Structure 1
Amino acid sequence: MAPIYDTSNKELMKPVVKHILQTVSPFTSESVVHDNACGTAVVTESIFEHLTQLKSPIPSFPIHCTDLSPAMLEKTSEKIAHHAWKNVTTQVMDAGRLSFPDNTFTHSFTNFGIFFLPDPPAGTREIFRTLKPGGVAYVTAWIHFGHMPALREVTKIVRPDLAPYPPPIVGNYEEEGAIQRVLEEGGFTGQAGTVTVEKFTSYQKGRCLEDLGEFWWTMHGFSKAGWTSNDKTRWIQALSEELFKVPGNFRDEKGVIHVQRIAMIGKAIKS
């Protein structure tokens, strides 16, 4: 997914991150930031855009981008080179077993990655461990995917002979309390820390259904589940009928497709 990740996901995630950055404690020369399970570094990219919009000198603080996927980090490295971010580093690392010392970071961001871990509480324990006292962590997760009900209907139409597909997205916790629970299990509770959560609505956008469909086809692994290229053509055609039956999805006056996603944002402060 790394080559097409930004095309279909970046503009979906950025409004969520932008919302977070509007309330985050200010970055200073003393800040140390972790872009955890960073993917293609959407958080890091948004931080630089945020600081630029403030029209103030950008303090030179370290940002550590880590991810288990070398392919994602390759895309991140391309961004680092393109933008000449001198203070950003990358490292292949398991979010459930971080190699950073205790009390390293002032800010930690885990953007739509925590529930993809085999053991999400292990991930939040590592966030807690590596955060400085007084530091803040932001953890996000989707609780509603506007394309999923349509995909489930389309699979019944195109290939009723196959088992229902796609299966639930790995790590999709469609419950508002999941973020708070997993952060508290990680240590942010009682005298050790506090957690607050909020809901935020964003939209995956595309100018044509074929582009969005291509991303979903890849994301959900249809080609590995007995589906053929002929199936894909019929699948796209059926998707054009089913997608807009789902509440929240629409095509605007310019023809741009908007597919609703609802996120939960968890903010955790280490005491």
Structure 2
Amino acid sequence: MDENAAEFVGEIPHFYDTGLGPVIFSHYATVMGARAAALAPHDVLETAAGTGIVSAELREQLPEAALVITDLNGPMLEIARSRLDGTALVETADAQSLQYADESFDVVVCQFGLMFLPDLKAGFREAARVLRPGGTFLFSVWDSHAHNPFAALADGVLSATFAEKPPPFYRVPFSMSAVDPLRELAQAAGFGAITIEVLPHATPVASWEDFAAGLVRGNPVVDQIRARGADPLDVEATVRSLLEQEFGPVPTTMPIQTVLYAATLA
């Protein structure tokens, strides 16, 4: 990772939740909740939970399960905590070094978090360690820019605005589209059967203004822009204009795509 790509602090959690959440996270949170519910777990751990968008779906679809919701960023978890309203244990944890005992959970969930782990092997080892025999690690990653044109557009704006040293953020979340490396890491950590789903979705967009605010101010790219002496609102205006040109006036839809893995502990 470059330039603190995993630091979601300050104003970022708000714009992440309100600008990005409804457009690129909510649908896949519902899918992840359904995959977890189908396993009928008693104890569920979510890592890299962010503002609790997936967490709320886990609570909705698994009303009787014990949920432990974690993230490395306290400000993100504050929103998650308010969303869950006391129905789950919400606490800070590092997915690479979890504080939980061996064989504590039936399911571990991680949506769009692996891309930010400096030590992927540790992340897989820890998920395997805290799972009970036969438990399942459900994790998802973004597919490439080719299948998520909104991200390619945002990255293109940054490259055009900062030709000498473009902010690198939009290459991090979309850097794990290749299936084989993640499958091999999971198997090396002790997981056996692994199912892989490619999940395209035409996501509805109600406001380009809100979505552009999320793309620029809802992740660490906002700090990368400021560090280069530019105004994030100027970049945001360009992103908003190009989104409307590319996908049309709202209400509309745009294509997004993720890859979801279900890895069962051997």
TM-score, normalised on structure 1? 0.79
Select the residue among 261, 264, 270 that pairs with 2:265: 270
Shift of 1:41: 1.7
Alignment correspondent of 2:45:
34
Q: Deviations over 1:104-148 (max 9, x none)?
A: 101110111012100112101100010001111101100233223
In 1, the alpha carbon distance for the partners of 2:239 and 2:29 equals 33
Q: Which segments of 5 or more consecutive residues in structure 1 lack a partner in the other structure? A: 52-57
Summarize the alignment of residues 49-88 of structure 1 with structure 2, pairs less than 5 Å apart: 49-51=60-62, 58-59=63-64, 61-81=65-85, 84-85=86-87, 88=88
Map Cα deviations across residues 154-182 of structure 1 (whole Å, 9 max, x no partner).
3455555x434445432522323343233
**Moved runs in structure 1, 4+ residues, more than 6 A?**
none
State the 1:90 CA deviation. Answer: 1.3
Q: Is contact 1:35-1:41 (8 Å) kept? A: no
Q: 3-state DSSP class of the match of 1:22?
A: helix
Q: Percent identity?
A: 21
The 1:98/1:214 distance shift into structure 2, 3 A limit, reads: same
- For 1:5 and 1:238, the matched residues in 2 are separated by 16
Gaps of at least 5 residues in structure 2 are 1-11
Q: Is the 8 A contact 1:67 1:93 kept in 2?
A: yes
Q: Within 2, Cα distance between the matches of 1:227 and 1:206?
A: 31
Which of 172, 179, 199 pairs up with 1:176?
179
Using the alignment, how far apart are the partners of 2:243 and 2:59 within structure 1? 38
Which entry has the higher C-alpha Rg, 1 or 2?
1
Q: Go from structure 1 to structure 2 and tell me whether the alpha carbon gap of 1:9 and 1:181 turns closer, same or farther (over 3 Å shift).
A: farther
Kept in 2, the 8 Å contact 1:140–1:179? The answer is: no
CA distance in 1, matches of 2:47, 2:160: 39
Q: Secondary structure at the match of 2:56?
A: helix
After superposition, the Cα gap between the structure-2 partners of 1:232 and 1:194, relative to the gap in structure 1 and judged at 3 Å, is same
The equivalent position to 1:5 in structure 2, one of 1, 16, 41, is 16
RMSD of aligned Cα (Å): 2.7
> Which secondary structure state, in structure 1, belongs to the residue aligned with residue 143 of structure 2?
strand
Separation in structure 1 between the aligned mates of residue 78 and residue 244 of structure 2, nearest angstrom: 33
Quote the residue 1:112 is aligned against. Answer: 112
State the secondary structure of the residue aligned to 1:106. strand
Q: Which of the residues 258, 261, 267 maps onto 2:256?
A: 261
- Mapped contact 2:216–2:236 kept (Cα < 8 A): no
Letter in 2 for 1:207: A
Contact residue 180 and residue 196 of structure 1 kept, 8 A: no
The total of aligned residue pairs comes to: 247
